[in-house]
Amino acid sequence: GSAALKETEKASGFPANRIGSSELRNEVFFLKAKCLSAQFEASSEQKDGQTAMEAWYDLKYMLRANTSNSHYIYADKEIRRISAALQ
């Protein structure tokens, strides 16, 4: 969890050669949110769930102009799943 998150954040600082910078940023946000969701799954801690949900909300906000994007749809499902788990 934590090591993967650090590597994901480190990757966001590298220049993108094969994809555009906005596409790279979207991928980094997606991977970060997935790492945070996995961390929540492992801990079941309320704070980890909140952090993961915030990351998914950030991704959804970035993709708001393209609601048919697979990452947007995945984020929506994860937000609902985590929200239900925190209830």
Contacts of 58 (CB under 8 A, 6+ apart): 29, 33
pLDDT by residue for the chain (87 residues), tens only, comes to: 677 767 667 666 666 567 777 888 899 999 999 999 999 999 999 999 999 999 999 999 999 999 999 999 999 999 999 999 999
Helix/strand/coil percent split, the chain, to 5: 75, 0, 25
Report the residue count for the chain.
87
pLDDT of residue 2: 72
Calculate helix-pair angle for 21-43, 70-86, nearest 10 degrees: 20
How far is Cα 27 from Cα 48, in angstroms, rounded to an integer? 21
